[in-house]
Amino acid sequence: MAAPIRQSLFGVAKGWWRFEGLWAGSLGSRSLALAAAPSISGSPWRLLGAVCLQRPPLVSKPLTPLQEEMAALLQQIEVEGSLYSDHELRALDEAQQLAKKKADLYDEEGDERNILLVQDLEDAWEQKFLQFKPGARITEADKKNDRTSLNRKLDRNLVLLVKEKLGDQDVWMLPQAEWQPGETLRGTAERTLATLSGEFSASL
């Protein structure tokens, strides 16, 4: 969660779980170079490969007030430019018949046809909708602010960070591993992923 939202959001666009060991490694070695034996002969730099493990958002972000207004306006415009649907026609007919009945004040045999009113149908549909319980957008992990669960902040892109010691300080950073001669940086990243403890399923 250290990375700014905008930047990490577009790192997501490449896959469900994705790691990029290529450039993260050299940047890491640049900033955290320690006095250890150089892996590449002749160069003073230590090469580390890191993994950027992401959990992309499961849920869409809440709309801003402007977006809400615009959505409402678009809906209004669409309705104004549309034709009446079967349901609406039926409602109009029934309203006319009711008005007639009140005006004329005599019972027709039209009751046989209109046992089920439009209002009854709508009530039934409303009841059915209320029976369905959708998943919660704000989960329990959010409320407890449990930083180790995957179920938190469903509308954001989450990145895995690991706490490691560098010299005297404890630093939260991407999980990384030393590059070994003979493997590519991508191989280093895969090895890092394999050595992470915990239960998760991730793929390229």
Q: Which residues are near another protein by CB under 8 A?
A: 6-7, 9-11, 14-16, 22-24, 26-27, 30, 40, 43, 45, 47, 56-60, 66, 69-70, 73, 80, 82-84, 89, 133-137, 139, 154-155, 184-186, 204
Query: Closer CB to another protein, residue 81 or residue 167?
Result: 81
Closest CB 76 distance from another protein, rounded Å = 9
Rounded to 5 degrees, what are φ and ψ at 148?
Answer: -95, -10
Query: Closer CB to another protein, residue 32 or residue 58?
Result: 58
Rounded Cα distance between 38 and 19, Å, is 25
Query: Closer CB to another protein, residue 13 or residue 105?
Result: 13
Rounded Cα distance between 94 and 114, Å, is 8
Burial class of residue 53 in the structure, from the number of CB atoms within 10 Å of its CB (0-12 exposed, 13-18 middle, 19+ buried): buried
Closest CB 170 distance from another protein, rounded Å = 26
Query: Closer CB to another protein, residue 7 or residue 201?
Result: 7
Q: Within 13 A of 80's CA, how many CA atoms are on the CB side?
A: 6
